[in-house]
Chains A and B, each alone.
Chain A
Amino acid sequence: DAEITQSPRHKITETGRQVTLACHQTWNHNNMFWYRQDLGHGLRLIHYSYGVQDTNKGEVSDGYSVSRSNTEDLPLTLESAASSQTSVYFCASSDRSRPLYNEQFFGPGTRLTVL
């Protein structure tokens, strides 16, 4: 079955370190998104991509970067981790070719703790 996976599921790192969170989907979706979830804020968009080589900044992109070298993967990199980036990170994808392309499908999440 097609799916969307994230790794690692849990990560503890130190302030200043570079961290990369992986997202992999097997639906062949064009669109991929990264969100962070914090208490009281719901889901906030970090970066998104409409296809290979395309990346766009979302609402809370400072301190994060993404790259899209193939359809299946959109890794999220924290260049220099800060304690304010402690959060739960969700990856999502959607298919622009479907009539209901707004339907985003989410991965299981990565819980990141920055000490």
Chain B
Amino acid sequence: GQQLNQSPQSMFIQEGEDVSMNCTSSSIFNTWLWYKQDPGEGPVLLIALYKAGELTSNGRLTAQFGITRKDSFLNISASIPSDVGIYFCAGQRQTSYDKVIFGPGTSLSVIP
């Protein structure tokens, strides 16, 4: 069953606003990954995190690996219309070599 929770489930924001979303679990993870999926496409990797406390940026995106190893956060600054899509977090557990578990996704809509 589902082992990762993402919130919010969906969000509608104005262009230019900042966005925050998070991913939580009751299990400890070694790795956190954030993907974005555009309509009709496969997910594309945005950011990968490998150490607790790590903060990594990719353009206007910033993601953090939570200190407890049970959560991760993604922030998008100054949103633009092309940020629209579904954002998935994915985690790899210590006992799960090479496999990752995906969260249910956060759907982002940007109002111009």
Contacts and interface: CB of A to CB of B under 8 A. Distances in A.
B45 A42 contact: no
B45 A105 contact: yes
Contacts of A40: 104
B25 interface: no
A89 to B, nearest CB: 10
Interface stretch (B59-67, B74-82, B95-103): B95-103
B102 A31 contact: no
A90 B50 CA distance: 24
A42 B42 contact: no
A48 B99 contact: yes
B21 interface: no
Contact of A41 (B42, B100, B104): B104
Interface string B68-88: 000000000000000000001
B33 interface: yes
Interface string A25-50: 00000010101000011111100101
Given A94-B98, A102-B33, A108-B42, A42 B48 contact: no
B43 A106 contact: yes
A45 B99 contact: yes
A35 B104 CA distance: 13
Given A41-B2, A42-B88, A101-B98, A106 B42 contact: yes
Interface of A: 31, 33, 35, 40-45, 48, 50, 58, 90, 92, 94, 96, 100-109
9 closest cross-chain pairs (CB), A and B:
A106-B42, A43-B102, A42-B104, A42-B102, A102-B31, A106-B43, A102-B92, A108-B42, A109-B42
29 contacts: A33-B99, A35-B102, A41-B104, A42-B88, A42-B102, A43-B88, A43-B90, A48-B99, A90-B42, A90-B43, A92-B42, A94-B98, A100-B50, A101-B98, A102-B92, A102-B100, A103-B33, A103-B45, A103-B48, A104-B100, A105-B45, A106-B35, A106-B43, A106-B44, A107-B42, A108-B40, A108-B41, A109-B41, A109-B42
